[in-house]
Amino acid sequence: MLAFVGLQSQQASASEFICKPSTLTRDAADLASAWSNGSTPLRILAIGSSSTEGVGASGKDKTYPARLGTLLREGLAGRSIEMVNAGIGGETAPQTLSRLKGALAEGRYDLVIWQVGTNDAVTGGDLGTFRNLIADGIAAAKQSRTRLVILDPQFYPGIKETARYRTYVEAIAEVAKAQAVPVLSRYQAMLGWYQRDADGFMAALAGDRFHMSDAGYGCLAQDIARSLLGDKPAVTLAASVR
């Protein structure tokens, strides 16, 4: 049983974000059964831009990859996990794709979490080219026989041209579905946080109201852990992340 301590039942204030249980996708839950048997270390690559690097976090141990690694070790009864954080702030899909291909060629990973699309959605560009980049990354992972899940763009209240931004989220979902690759829908999760409590949601963001705070990264890590582990073992959320 994976438990997160300290759940509070009171309403969140503007300085407090209450993290409630959610699952970003059920499609990745089969990983738990594959991971629960075996003694060799699991190697996980988290690659992407500032959300992966952890811009807005108070320290490297507060980034989502660091917290995810801790939760997976607990959920898998202490199995050794090597979590590699390959996040570089400011990157767009073409830059990350190049590094992703290099990483797949150089090392063997049990799982790659590819965070992609936020900076592309913010700056705009040719959507067809973006879709092709996502397909190219999926093909590279399949060629190297590496399990891949995609972490889609974040939601934040200051999104401009919301309809255009959503087309990037939808493009990722469509391309990934066609290739049977799970998507961890951070956008939908964060939108749900905001709709539930717009004031409390602001505590999930850093001071720039764009990047995530320690609270936001912590909740994201918990949701990803729940999505990856599914019901084996059962994952329950019993924590407030502040």
Q: Would the pLDDT of 242 be above 60? A: no
Distance CA 82, CA 165 (A): 33
Q: What span, in angstroms and rounded, lies between the C-alpha atoms of 212 and 113?
A: 18
Q: What is the pLDDT of residue 151?
A: 97
The pLDDT of residue 201 is 92
The pLDDT assigned to 4 comes to 30
pLDDT of 30 reads 61
What does the pLDDT read at residue 236? 46
Dist CA 239 CA 54 (whole Å): 21
Retrieve residue 74's tokens: 């607990």
Confidence band for 74, pLDDT divided at 50, 70 and 90: confident
- Smallest CA-to-CA distance from 234 within 32, 60, 55 is with 32
**pTM check: above 0.75:** yes
pLDDT 10s digits, 29-47: 566 666 766 678 899 999 9
For residue 13, give the nearest of 227, 226, 199, 209 by alpha carbon.
Answer: 199
pLDDT value, residue 28: 61
pLDDT at 6 over 60: no
Give the percent of the chain with pLDDT over 90: 68
Average pLDDT, the chain: 85
Indicate whether 131 pLDDT > 60: yes
